[in-house]
């Protein structure tokens, strides 16, 4: 069996007010070809299909057109889709009865019966062309407050609750499987130790570390864990088989220097044979001009020297212009736009900085030190300063509950 792991499509996203439909179209066309070329049996999409919970009609059409086209191109393909924090879980699940007949399974909502999680809904059998079950998938969507079991005396209710859910669903799935049937897991969450991009930081600033899930939450006998939520592709906890596929197109200029990818996993029986990252072709490049901030006259000279010819306007690169200034310049954008008037690029943003003095550097160091502190650290320091003793565990637990509740509301 060959599976392909992808996530964080964010269909409908705009990039500094530029529409990205063309980029998503090109990715989906490429993805269908990759599925055909590599004879993929199972496609896993681990959350954040759309960029907003109420996507436009055009975004919805693009997604369902892809599902139609990929099933026509690869009739043997089974697809499992889970909801991310950007998706409306119930909206994503709405066409589920219709799609199930095409071997497309969507899991958005965690349902409960009298407080007991319905794990049957979250466990998907993977079948071969003869309709024989060959594996099982724990299809876990993004978990919101109340979606996971309560753990008595938990210091971090969310972290420990999510870990408990994965423990329980693994036990449930393991009881269903027969010898030779491996278990695959999906998740849309933030793992401890994950390397985040600029966009990840701006979207989900870590609040006290209460939402970080340790890789040990995934049972060691799970053959592959397909994660979404973090846009940078990477393995987690030093484990080759626990991975983020990353986003298929760059979400910010911080992603201009690494390849985006999907992950192909080859499984024979209950043995993982190979994991291969397949690079996604770049449709629209990101450029930072210059690489480091320079005075305006130097920047304008560099911009005037741009002479790349790209016939298709949809493929013109996005550029971030980086300028070193001594004082505010209200006409800065106009000056830069004038230089770029006949250039085949799209001005996305202008980044400006002021020359640093010694005092600025001291202030920057202080800010960096503050950024290294999470809210729990601050709370502990304040408590110790006031009461001259360590913070009691009961207060830490209550503080983490408040922080997590705030974080989940912001998501």
The rounded distance, in Å, linking the Cα atoms of 211 and 159 is 6
Alpha-carbon torsion, ordered 303, 304, 310, 312, to 10 deg = 80
Burial of 375 (0-12, 13-18, 19+ CB in 10 A): middle
Same domain, 94 and 240: yes
Angle at which helix 332-339 crosses helix 296-304, to 10 degrees, equals: 20
Nearest-angstrom CA–CA distance, 384 and 381: 5
pLDDT level of residue 200 (50, 70, 90 thresholds) = low
Rounded to whole angstroms, the Cα distance separating 202 from 205 reads: 6
Mean pLDDT for the chain overall: 89
pLDDT band of residue 347 (cuts 50, 70, 90) is: very high
Indicate if 93 and 60 belong to the same structural domain: yes
Helix (H, G, I), strand (E, B) or coil at 159: helix
Residue 141 scores a pLDDT above 50: yes
Residues 148-167 pLDDT 10s: 999 999 888 999 999 999 99
Q: Looking at the structure, tell me whether residues 253 and 333 fall in a common domain.
A: no
Average pLDDT for residues 355-362, to the nearest whole number?
A: 59
Q: Which residue has the tokens 């592709």?
A: 233
Reported pTM: 0.84
Q: Check which CATH number belongs to the domain holding 48 and give it.
A: 3.60.21.10
Return all residues near 171 (Cβ < 8 A) that are at least 6 apart: none
Domain boundary among 279, 297, 327: 279
User: C-alpha distances in angstroms, 129 versus 2, 74, 383?
Assistant: 13, 12, 62
Confidence class for position 401, pLDDT limits 50, 70, 90: low
Please choose, from the candidates 276, 192, 211, 213, the residue with its C-alpha nearest in 3D space to the C-alpha of residue 241. 276
**Same domain, yes or no: 31 and 153:** yes
Place of tokens 């979207």: 203
Q: Among 279, 298, 332, which residue terminates a domain?
A: 279
Interval 301-329: pLDDT, tens: 999 999 999 999 999 999 999 999 998 88
CATH number of 292's domain: 3.30.160
How far apart are alpha carbons 297 and 324 in whole angstroms?
10
Same domain, 29 and 137: yes
Q: What angle do CA 375, 381, 386 make, to 5 degrees?
A: 125
Q: What's the rounded Cα separation, in Å, for the pair 301 and 145?
A: 53
In the chain, the number of structural domains is: 3
Q: State what percent of residues in the chain have pLDDT above 90.
A: 72
Regarding whether 363 and 342 lie in a shared domain, the answer is no
Residue 212 is part of which domain span? 2-279
Whether residues 332 and 390 fall in one domain = no
The verdict on 339 and 229 lying in the same domain is no
Helix (H) or strand (E) holding 4: strand 2-6
Instruction: Write the pLDDT tens digit of every residue in 67-123.
Output: 999 999 999 999 999 999 999 999 999 998 889 888 999 999 999 998 899 999 999
- Chain CA centroid to CA 101, Å: 28
Residue 198 has pLDDT above 80, yes or no: no
Q: Do 159 and 210 contact (CB within 8 A), yes or no?
A: yes
**342 and 213 within one domain:** no
User: Is 41 exposed, middle or buried (CB count within 10 Å of its CB: 0-12, 13-18, 19+)?
Assistant: buried
* pLDDT of res. 359: 53
- Same structural domain, 123 and 69: yes
- DSSP secondary structure, 260-316, as one string: -EEEEEEEETTEEEEEEEEEPPPSS-EEEEEEEEEEHHHHHHHHHT-----S-GGGP
Render pLDDT for 2-37 as a digit per residue (tens, 0 to 9): 999 999 999 999 999 999 999 999 999 999 999 999
List the structure tokens of 298: 């130097």
Q: What is the 3-state secondary structure (H, E, C) of 211-253?
A: CEECHHHCCCCCCEEEEECCCCCEEECCEEEEEECCCCCCCCH
Segment among 266-275, 282-291, 309-318, 353-362 with least mean pLDDT: 353-362
Residue 257 pLDDT: 76
> Are residue 294 and residue 162 in the same domain, yes or no?
no
Which residue among 279, 304, 334 closes a domain?
279
The band of 197, judged by pLDDT with boundaries at 50, 70 and 90, is low
Residues 320, 406, single domain; the answer is: no
Angle, helices 157-176 vs 393-410, to 10°: value is 80
Q: Is the pLDDT of residue 404 over 70?
A: no
d(CA 244, CA 235): 6
Residue 331 has pLDDT above 80, yes or no: yes
């Amino acid at each position: 069996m060959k599976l392909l792991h992808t996530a964080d499509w964010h269909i409908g996203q705009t990039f500094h007010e530029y529409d990205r439909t063309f980029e998503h179209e090109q990715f989906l066309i490429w993805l269908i070809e990759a599925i055909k070329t590599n004879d993929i049996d199972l496609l896993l999409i681990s959350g954040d299909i759309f960029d907003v919970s109420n996507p436009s009609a055009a975004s919805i059409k693009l997604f369902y057109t892809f599902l139609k086209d990929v099933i026509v191109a690869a009739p043997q393909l089974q697809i499992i889709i889970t909801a991310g924090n950007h998706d409306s879980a119930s909206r994503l699940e709405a066409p589920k009865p219709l799609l199930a007949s095409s071997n497309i399974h969507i899991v958005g909502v965690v349902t409960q019966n009298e407080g007991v999680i319905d794990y049957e809904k979250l466990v998907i059998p993977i079948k071969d062309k003869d309709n024989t079950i060959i594996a099982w998938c724990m299809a876990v969507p993004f978990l919101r407050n109340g979606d996971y079991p309560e753990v008595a005396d938990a210091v971090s209710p969310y972290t420990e609750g999510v870990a408990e859910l994965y423990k329980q669903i693994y036990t449930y799935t393991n009881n269903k499987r027969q010898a030779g049937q491996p278990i695959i897991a999906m998740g849309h969450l933030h793992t401890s130790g994950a390397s985040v991009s600029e966009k990840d930081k701006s979207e989900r600033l870590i609040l006290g570390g209460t939402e970080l899930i340790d890789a040990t939450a995934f049972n060691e006998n799970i053959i592959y864990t397909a994660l979404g939520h973090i846009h940078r592709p990477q393995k987690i906890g030093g484990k080759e088989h626990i991975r983020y596929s990353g986003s298929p197109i760059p979400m910010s200029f911080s992603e201009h220097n690494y390849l985006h990818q999907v992950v192909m996993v080859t499984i024979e029986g209950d043995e993982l044979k190979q994991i291969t990252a397949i690079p996604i072709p770049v449709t629209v490049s990101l450029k930072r001009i210059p690489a480091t901030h320079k005075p305006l006259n130097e920047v304008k000279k560099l911009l005037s020297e741009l002479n790349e010819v790209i016939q298709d306007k949809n493929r013109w690169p996005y550029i971030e212009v980086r300028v070193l200034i001594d004082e505010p310049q209200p006409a800065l954008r106009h000056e830069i736009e004038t230089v770029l008037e006949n250039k085949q690029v799209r001005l996305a943003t202008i980044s400006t900085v002021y020359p640093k003095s010694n005092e600025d550097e001291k202030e920057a160091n202080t800010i960096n030190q503050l950024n290294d502190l999470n809210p729990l650290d601050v709370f502990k320091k304040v408590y110790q300063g006031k009461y001259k003793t360590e913070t009691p565990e009961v207060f830490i637990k209550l503080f983490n509950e408040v922080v997590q509740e705030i974080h989940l509301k912001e998501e």
